[in-house]
Structure 1
Amino acid sequence: MSYPAHVRATLVLGLPLVGGHMAQMAIGLTDTIMVGWYGAAALATVTLANTLFFTLFLFGCGFAWAVMPMVATYAAENDDQKVRRATRMGLWLSALFCVVMFPLLWWSEALLRLLGQTPVIASEAQVYLRVLAFGLLPALVTMTLKSYLAALEKTKVVFWVTIVAVPYNALANFALIFGNFGFPELGLQGAAIASLSTHVFSVLVIVVYIRRFVPEHSLFQRLWKPDNEMFAQVFKLGVPIGLTSLSETMLFAASAIMMGWLGTIPLAAHGIALQLASMTFMLHLGLSNAATVRAGNAFGRKDWPHMARGGIVALALSAFIAALTIVLFVALPEPLIAAFLDPDDPARADIITMGITLLILAAIFQLVDGAQVVALGLLRGVQDAGMPMILAAVSYFGIGLPAALVLGFVANWGATGIWIGLVLGLTVAAVLLNNRFWFQMIPNLSRLAAPAANA
């Protein structure tokens, strides 16, 4: 397959995934904007609460993301039974993860206070999280089923399921946060109820679709039946994937906690800048998912040259997106940040001033953030998860987090220093993970294939 053909194939598969991730982030963006209109203090609280929730969510997504390369490989081998078994055990492990993590969300105030947050913010965040705790299960089930569909290259469905949820979430927020359409004004609790109902709505839509249009795998029949062998395989791949995601997420979660030490205004500015950076990251994540599926298919067929060319194309597309994002963030920082704030909020000017600096730093890490997540997608496609987990831990805990602490508080650079630490951690991760795929995995796979080719 030529490079232009690889570009077309990657875009056909990846653009709906990009759209789905963007729509998913639009849900979070809607939450942030509407809560920001409700007040700067509320925005700071939701920023902190969502940081904890999504840290656990992304850790739990390890099992969902393990399903994607496994199903892609089994589909390339035409093994429908293993497709079904892997997806079911991904659902099992997601459910078990929710049971284990529920108490942490329910009693989150003590944890947040232990991490240095003010009693008021910690208490209000717990009110929010006690509602959203019930949304962890439908959110992870939705992610697992989306991974299953994406691996089967039914990515348009993934896109439309998420798109439908966006207006639903916006209306629910508008009704419950501010007390419209005859509903009571519930503020932060209303935002949490809206998010919970959106997660439930999404999982119902995707289950109905699979039962109606993908009946060949009988995915939900005898779902209760254990499968120890496949359970162990999904667990073995899913745990390091989850821990890898947790490493990066913990770096950003720690940055939010450190911002909380600096006060409400830095935390609110951080929340806005991170929300904007996360939106653009979804573009790279969609390409990463496409790279996982295409590498998984090539892995099942043992077609290493195809895999390498596809990887080059995914990285090139990611770099192109990063260049466009850098221009946007550097050229228009103030209007982007102002969109999140009530014009009458007394803290608005201070938040915008700090947010502009953080958004310029976010522009700097666009290229390396895209490069590291695409490399992760390629490594997952060949079911290599153990070493990437170690490399991510070294990058984020060994480099990024210490740098953020030192530059933010020892050097007294404040919020700017914390974000420079983020940039350093992501840069090291991009270098190490790409080295792992291109200079270790690809040569090793090619050598393994050489005896078969010569036979």
Structure 2
Amino acid sequence: MRLARYTSEFKYNWKLAAPVMLGMLGHTFVSFVDNIMVGQLGTAELAAVSLGNSFMFIAMSLGIGFSTAITPLIAEADSSNNFDQAKSTFKHGLFLCTVLGVSLFLMVFFAKPLMHLMNQPDEVVQLAIPYLDLVAFSLIPLIVFQALKQFSDGMSITKYPMYATIIANLVNVGLNYVLIFGHFGFPELGIVGAAYGTLASRIIMVGYLWWLLAKRERTRKLVTNIKIFVLDTLMLKKILGLGMPSAMQMFFEVAIFTAAIWLSGLLGKNPQAANQIALNLSSMTFMVAMGLSVAAMVRVGNQKGLMKFRELRRIAVSIFLLGTLLATFFGTIFFLFHKQLPTIYVDMNDTINYADNMEVISIAAKLLFAAAIFQISDSIQVIVLGALRGLQDVKIPTLITFVAYWAVGFPISYFLGKEDMYGSFGIWLGLLAGLTTAAILLYIRFNYLTLKLIRTKEHELT
């Protein structure tokens, strides 16, 4: 019956997390569709999208990580029925995310010359630059969307961002089809067509989610009649105090995966394309864990507002358990189908690029072995991180993620990823080491904090 204390929460946790998972998967699905369609053009085009998106991943990690500060503050305000705090959090969060979105666009736009200094294949760089121009601009609507999404998640309305993402994906698939290949009289733009699809879909995503929130009675007063430039310094500092460490946590993890892209590029365009395939597949399973991470953030934030720390710990552990079970399932899928999954991304009937395509599939199949193993540690670290954000504990976890990924993971990737060592597989062994270290240390931190909160409250009651 002790196990039932945790499994009894599975149904509600899944109900809360599933729309978030689908919404997060929607973001990844945009990349998935881009990769499959662009992969039909050739391995150089697929590698170019990989290189361009490596800059985007860094910027997105900062924006998405920062926006997560909104969710626990909204969840705490919602559970205690504090309307003023909820509205203030939304307004200041929206303002800061908009400023950050513009800043990230400018950062990526002016960072393009770095591609020429990274020893990447010239053919790949020439294709990546025009693609990145448009995709970089899409950061502005994406980060604004994140502010709306995190607010909605904090209010436990996780379906609305999912609906917006589904609509955006339909738009993206349609525009990709006509603009990449030039169907129905549209110009054939290649990978630039994929960038137009991404930009348009993200603009639509913002407008649709705001419309849904403004239409609902429970959230209408919170998201309308906003005096966006009438700002409170204390609230700005509070969101920045939570948001900046959260941004760095996600940055440290995404940056090591981005480093894997660059290290793969040093090995050639085929290893880089294979890395992109394995990374894209891993990203989709990671979004399931991200959904549970948001559920942990919301539920822990609610229980923190109610000062029910034993319930907080029980609920969080139930989410950790559910995440571990799902990660084990995904790892098994990767292990069993490691040879078949990469074939989705390349044109097997392309006789001109047949040798390149077969090499890409062979390398990607090996990388999926490493991905299968780190499913569990990747899931645990991001879900525990969500629970810690719900506790509004962000500084020590930021240090933990830096040590795990850059003091442990990256040196192993760099050393084992050389051509005369294990190549691409060695790079991914470093990722495995970093994720596992993060999972262990973050759980130790969560265990320490929750037991301390329980002891403190029980001591006050005696």
TM-score of the pair, normalised by structure 1: 0.97
Q: Which residue of 2 aligns with 1:182?
A: 185
In structure 2, which of residues 346, 370, 378 is the aligned counterpart of residue 369 of structure 1?
A: 378
In 1, Cα distance between equivalents of 2:427 and 2:7: 41
> Which amino acid letter does the alignment assign opposite residue 238 of structure 1?
G
In 2, Cα distance between equivalents of 1:216 and 1:453: 38
Matched residue of 2:421: which SS?
A: coil
Q: Which residue of 2 aligns with 1:59?
A: 62
In structure 1, which of residues 348, 359, 366 is the aligned counterpart of residue 357 of structure 2?
A: 348
Deviation at 1:90, TM superposition (A): 1.4
In 2, Cα distance between equivalents of 1:218 and 1:106: 31
Q: Which residue of 2 aligns with 1:447?
A: 455
Deviation at 1:29, TM superposition (A): 0.7
Q: Which residue of 1 aligns with 2:27?
A: 24
> Which amino acid letter does the alignment assign opposite residue 137 of structure 1?
I
The question of whether the paired residues in 2 share the 8 Å contact of 1:63 and 1:90 is answered with no
Determine what percentage of the aligned residue pairs are the same residue.
32
Does 105-114 or 71-80 show the bigger shift? 105-114
CA offset digits 1:341-386 (Å, max 9, x no partner): 1121321111111110001111010000001001101000000000
Q: Which residue of 2 aligns with 1:302?
A: 307
Deviation at 1:411, TM superposition (A): 6.0
Q: Does 1:222 align with 2:227?
A: yes
Residues 1:62 and 1:53: Cα distance change in structure 2 (over 3 Å): same
Q: Which residue of 2 aligns with 1:192?
A: 195
Q: Which residue of 1 aligns with 2:214?
A: 211
Deviation at 1:124, TM superposition (A): 2.5
The question of whether the paired residues in 2 share the 8 Å contact of 1:63 and 1:238 is answered with yes
In 1, Cα distance between equivalents of 2:134 and 2:104: 14
The question of whether the paired residues in 2 share the 8 Å contact of 1:51 and 1:256 is answered with yes
What are the residue-to-residue correspondences of 1:377-392 with 2, within 5 Å?
A: 377-392=386-401
> Which amino acid letter does the alignment assign opposite residue 57 of structure 1?
M
What are the residue-to-residue correspondences of 1:411-450 with 2, within 5 Å?
A: 412-438=421-447, 440-450=448-458
Deviation at 1:410, TM superposition (A): 8.1
Matched residue of 2:418: which SS?
A: helix
In 1, Cα distance between equivalents of 2:227 and 2:139: 23
In 1, Cα distance between equivalents of 2:456 and 2:99: 37
> Which amino acid letter does the alignment assign opposite residue 432 of structure 1?
L
In 2, Cα distance between equivalents of 1:38 and 1:244: 36
> Which amino acid letter does the alignment assign opposite residue 457 of structure 2?
A
In 1, Cα distance between equivalents of 2:16 and 2:230: 32
The question of whether the paired residues in 1 share the 8 Å contact of 2:100 and 2:143 is answered with no
Q: Does 1:155 align with 2:164?
A: no
Deviation at 1:241, TM superposition (A): 0.2
Does 78-87 or 379-388 show the bigger shift? 78-87
Q: Does 1:338 align with 2:347?
A: no
Deviation at 1:80, TM superposition (A): 1.2
Deviation at 1:84, TM superposition (A): 1.2
Q: Which residue of 1 aligns with 2:132?
A: 129
> Which amino acid letter does the alignment assign opposite residue 453 of structure 1?
L
In structure 2, which of residues 100, 105, 111 is the aligned counterpart of residue 102 of structure 1?
A: 105
In 1, Cα distance between equivalents of 2:392 and 2:125: 39
Does 310-319 or 388-397 show the bigger shift? 310-319
In 2, Cα distance between equivalents of 1:129 and 1:23: 20
Q: Does 1:325 align with 2:330?
A: yes
Does 119-128 or 33-42 show the bigger shift? 119-128
Give structure 2 stretches of 5+ with no counterpart. none
Does 117-126 or 229-238 show the bigger shift? 117-126
Give structure 1 stretches of 5+ with no counterpart. none
What are the residue-to-residue correspondences of 1:270-285 with 2, within 5 Å?
A: 270-285=275-290
Q: Which residue of 2 aligns with 1:39?
A: 42
The question of whether the paired residues in 2 share the 8 Å contact of 1:105 and 1:126 is answered with no
Matched residue of 1:222: which SS?
A: coil
Does 382-391 or 56-65 show the bigger shift? 56-65
In 2, Cα distance between equivalents of 1:202 and 1:188: 21
The question of whether the paired residues in 2 share the 8 Å contact of 1:88 and 1:219 is answered with no
In 1, Cα distance between equivalents of 2:228 and 2:428: 45
Matched residue of 1:412: which SS?
A: coil
TM-score of the pair, normalised by structure 2: 0.95
In 1, Cα distance between equivalents of 2:246 and 2:192: 32
In 1, Cα distance between equivalents of 2:144 and 2:229: 15
Deviation at 1:4, TM superposition (A): 4.0
In 2, Cα distance between equivalents of 1:126 and 1:246: 22
Does 90-99 or 318-327 show the bigger shift? 90-99
Matched residue of 1:334: which SS?
A: coil
Does 15-24 or 276-285 show the bigger shift? 15-24
Deviation at 1:2, TM superposition (A): 4.1
Q: Does 1:8 align with 2:11?
A: yes
In 2, Cα distance between equivalents of 1:406 and 1:279: 28
Q: Which residue of 1 aligns with 2:242?
A: 237
The question of whether the paired residues in 2 share the 8 Å contact of 1:68 and 1:292 is answered with yes
Deviation at 1:322, TM superposition (A): 1.1
In 1, Cα distance between equivalents of 2:313 and 2:124: 48
> Which amino acid letter does the alignment assign opposite residue 127 of structure 1?
P
> Which amino acid letter does the alignment assign opposite residue 338 of structure 2?
P
In 2, Cα distance between equivalents of 1:47 and 1:316: 33
Deviation at 1:220, TM superposition (A): 4.9
Deviation at 1:158, TM superposition (A): 2.0
Q: Does 1:141 align with 2:109?
A: no
The question of whether the paired residues in 2 share the 8 Å contact of 1:84 and 1:219 is answered with no
In 1, Cα distance between equivalents of 2:201 and 2:91: 23
Deviation at 1:448, TM superposition (A): 2.6
What are the residue-to-residue correspondences of 1:238-253 with 2, within 5 Å?
A: 238-253=243-258
| Alignment RMSD | 1.5
Deviation at 1:218, TM superposition (A): 3.9
CA offset digits 1:235-294 (Å, max 9, x no partner): 010000000000001100001000000000000000001100110111111001100000
Q: Does 1:311 align with 2:316?
A: yes
